[in-house]
């Protein structure tokens, strides 16, 4: 097999430092404004105008005055926890805020976003020695009901005195890092990598002095993790003619994942295009052609019923908006060590960029 030739890097030093800062800024579901500020601050020089909506979805617009509207979209929120109950001994019990994984919680470091600012805490877990005492404690598995945070306080009052109260959001402390062979790790690449990639599309359009025959909305929606809610709100407001969504998907090549169910998708082999009823076939065909023309490697996935991403919100908004989903493969989704490959980031940016350039108000998306 011929060795593929080395492609020119899309990301530069500035964009990489933005990626790190953005990834390391907590943006729990419902409290995304921290990350949104970082994102808007990077995006603003590449767009003509920006706005935000009532719940914090952030939008940059190129050519705001055109009638035809195209959206490229990602989601800004990250899964997290909510403080739910504080015991007399000063231990803090939680509720999920999105699909946060209880199995990975024991011994993680977290940040409680308290009234007086960030409070450090840990998920305590009984020692292996003390667990062996009885059959009952031996096989204890982490569950929402038995997981607790220890912030160092020993009474309920001490917890309250550091500014923690019921309803505070809690995020894991782990951030961006790199491992070998071009792989990045961190928490919440789902879906801050999407926000990063759509911002890079805007940067490339600006730097390459491209003019578009329509309005391009670069949308970073809130509250995806609890039911695609931010996208629902902003789709109704913008009323786009076309939407291209980007989110993460599972690399199915690591152990304990069934390819017969999950399909075959791997990090490093390019963005994945999705077939499913919410995905518009003619729009999808345009994107596939763009990939072929630009020699961008592709993987294919199928979904039954819904895509489970903001694509559904855009597709079924208003009177129906032709939508497509470009996914980037990710290992270990919803853990603190989500892993993805740099080449896929670059290729997904290129695919979105070239797709945006291929669209126009004259693009025929009629099925008949």
CB nearer Zn ion, residue 338 or residue 354: 338
- Give whichever of 190 and 354 is closer to Zn ion, judged by the CB atom: 190
CA 75 to chain centre: 5
How many residues make contact with Zn ion (CB under 5 A)?
Answer: 1
Phi, psi at residue 118, to the nearest 5°?
-65, 135
SS3 content of the chain, % helix, strand, coil (to 5): 30, 25, 45
Q: How far apart are alpha carbons 186 and 342 in whole angstroms?
A: 13
In 252-286, which positions are buried (b, 16+ CB within 10 angstroms) versus exposed (e)? bbeeeeeeeeebebbbbbbbbbbebebbbeebbeb
Q: To the nearest whole angstrom, how small is the minimum distance from the Cβ of residue 190 to Zn ion?
A: 4
Rank residues 63 and 80 by Cβ distance to Zn ion and give the closer one: 80
Q: Which stretch binds Zn ion (CB under 5 A): 63-71, 184-192, 227-235, 274-282?
A: 184-192
CB of 32 to Zn ion, least distance (A): 14
Going from the C-alpha of 184 to that of each of 111, 190, 268, the distances in angstroms are 22, 13, 11
Q: How far is the CB of 334 from Zn ion (least distance, A)?
A: 6
Stretch that binds Zn ion, among 83-91, 104-112, 186-194, 341-349 (CB under 5 A): 186-194
Decide whether 215 or 335 has the Cβ nearer to Zn ion. Answer: 335
190 forms part of the interface with Zn ion (CB under 5 A): yes
The CA distance from 238 to 155, in Å, is 49
Q: Which stretch binds Zn ion (CB under 5 A): 177-185, 188-196, 238-246, 282-290?
A: 188-196
Q: What is the rounded (10 degree) CA torsion for 44, 279, 251, 348? A: -40
Residue 292 Cβ vs Zn ion, minimum distance, rounded to whole Å = 30
Least distance to Zn ion, CB of residue 299, Å: 19
Q: How many CB atoms lie within 10 A of CB 305?
A: 9
Cα separation of 43 and 59, whole Å?
9
Residue 78 in contact with Zn ion, rule: CB under 5 A: no
For the CB of residue 96, give the shortest distance to Zn ion in the complex, in Å. Answer: 12
DSSP class of residue 28 equals B
Cβ-based nearer residue to Zn ion, 190 or 344:
190
Smallest gap from residue 100 Cβ to Zn ion (A): 10
Nearer to Zn ion, 224 or 346 (CB): 224
Dist CA 62 CA 132 (whole Å): 62
Nearer residue to Zn ion within complex by CB, 103 or 140: 103
Give the footprint of Zn ion on this chain (CB under 5 A): 190
């Amino acid at each position: 097999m011929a060795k593929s030739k080395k492609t020119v890097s899309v990301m530069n030093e500035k964009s990489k430092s933005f990626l790190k800062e953005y990834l390391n800024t907590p943006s729990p579901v419902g409290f995304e404004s921290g990350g949104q500020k970082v994102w808007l601050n990077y995006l603003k020089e590449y767009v003509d105008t920006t706005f935000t909506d009532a719940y914090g979805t952030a939008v940059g617009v190129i050519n705001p005055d055109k009638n035809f509207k195209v959206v490229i979209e990602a989601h800004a929120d990250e899964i997290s926890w909510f403080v739910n109950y504080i015991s007399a001994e000063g231990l803090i019990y939680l509720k999920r805020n999105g699909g946060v994984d209880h199995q990975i919680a024991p011994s993680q470091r977290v940040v409680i976003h308290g009234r007086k600012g960030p409070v450090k805490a840990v998920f305590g877990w009984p020692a292996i020695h003390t667990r062996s005492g009885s059959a009952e404690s031996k096989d204890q598995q982490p569950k929402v009901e038995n997981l607790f945070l220890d912030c160092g306080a020993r009474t309920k009052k001490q917890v309250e005195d550091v500014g923690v109260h019921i309803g505070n959001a809690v995020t894991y402390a782990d951030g961006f890092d790199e491992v070998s062979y071009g792989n990045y790790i961190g928490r919440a690449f789902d879906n801050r990598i999407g926000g990063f990639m759509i911002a890079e599309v805007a940067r490339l359009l600006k730097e390459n002095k491209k003019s578009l025959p329509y309005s391009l909305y670069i949308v970073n929606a809130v509250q995806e993790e609890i039911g695609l809610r931010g996208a629902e709100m902003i789709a109704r407001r913008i009323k786009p003619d076309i939407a291209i969504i980007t989110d993460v998907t599972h690399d199915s090549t690591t152990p304990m994942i069934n390819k017969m169910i999950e399909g075959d998708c791997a990090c490093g082999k390019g963005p994945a295009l999705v077939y499913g009823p919410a995905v518009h076939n003619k729009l999808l065909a345009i994107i596939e052609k763009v990939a072929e023309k630009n020699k961008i490697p592709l993987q294919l996935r199928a979904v039954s019923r819904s895509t489970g991403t903001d694509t559904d919100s855009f597709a079924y908004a208003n009177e129906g908006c032709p939508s497509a989903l470009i996914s980037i493969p990710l290992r270990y989704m919803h853990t603190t060590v989500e892993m993805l490959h740099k080449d896929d980031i670059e290729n997904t940016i290129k695919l979105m960029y070239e797709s945006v350039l291929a669209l126009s108000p004259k693009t025929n998306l009629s099925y008949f």
